[in-house]
């Protein structure tokens, strides 16, 4: 995986949040926005977060996304969808984005929204490439290649 050190920390010492470098604004359906607000409240109340950057990424995703009502567009990553993505120059991977999953589920193809990967993916559109914070503070590219909704 090709990663680069993020060039500057924000005022609170954490790296700046991921910002889209391609077309399109992330979108959040009402249910996903409510869930992200719950996840953020949990991160802020927890004595120890799952990741030192997770609350920061969730806060950014909520602030930087446009509301899209009850149903997200067909090309948008939303909770419960199967998403195909690539990280850096790596191969395509596919997983089910889930609000109620934990990091342990990643080995079985589930992407918890309460992970840096899941919090960065939610709301993105097919074809969008954004920077993604890694657990070690580096930044890499994340590209959404496809989205499938449950039948």
Task: Quote the pLDDT of residue 85.
Answer: 97
Number of other CB atoms surrounding residue 134 within 10 Å: 18
Q: Given pLDDT bands bounded at 50, 70 and 90, which one contains residue 11?
A: very low
Q: Given pLDDT bands bounded at 50, 70 and 90, which one contains residue 109?
A: confident
Q: At 143, give phi and psi (nearest 5°).
A: -120, 130
By C-alpha distance, which of 141, 143, 29, 147 is closest to 83? 147
Q: Which CATH architecture has domain 20-148?
A: Roll (3.10)
How confident is the model over 6-29, as a mean pLDDT? Answer: 54
* 64, 26 Cβ separation under 8 angstroms: yes
Residue 2 pLDDT > 50:
no
User: pLDDT higher for 115 or 16?
Assistant: 115
Task: Quote the pLDDT of residue 9.
Answer: 42
Number of other CB atoms surrounding residue 89 within 10 Å: 9
Domain ranges of the chain: 20-148
By C-alpha distance, which of 11, 52, 18 is closest to 139? 18
Task: Quote the pLDDT of residue 47.
Answer: 55
Task: Quote the pLDDT of residue 15.
Answer: 46
Length of the chain: 151
Task: Quote the pLDDT of residue 43.
Answer: 83
How confident is the model over 14-40, as a mean pLDDT? Answer: 73
Q: Structure pTM?
A: 0.78
Residue 107 pLDDT > 70:
no
Number of other CB atoms surrounding residue 142 within 10 Å: 21
Condensed to tens digits (0 to 9), the pLDDT of residues 15-24 reads 444 444 445 7
Per DSSP, 65 falls in state P
């Amino acid at each position: 995986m090709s990663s680069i050190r993020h060039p500057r920390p924000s005022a609170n010492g954490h790296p700046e949040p991921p910002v889209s470098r391609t077309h399109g604004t992330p979108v959040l359906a009402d249910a996903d926005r409510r869930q992200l607000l719950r996840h953020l409240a949990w991160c802020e109340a927890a004595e120890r977060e799952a990741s030192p950057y997770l609350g920061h990424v969730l806060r950014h995703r909520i602030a930087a996304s446009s509301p899209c009502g009850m149903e997200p567009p067909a090309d948008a990553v939303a909770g419960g969808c199967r998403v195909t993505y690539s990280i850096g120059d790596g191969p395509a991977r596919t997983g089910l984005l889930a609000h109620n999953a934990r990091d342990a589920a990643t080995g079985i193809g589930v992407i918890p929204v309460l992970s840096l990967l899941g919090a960065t993916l939610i709301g993105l559109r097919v074809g969008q490439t954004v920077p993604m914070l890694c657990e070690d503070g580096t930044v890499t590219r994340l590209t959404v290649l496809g989205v499938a909704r449950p039948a």
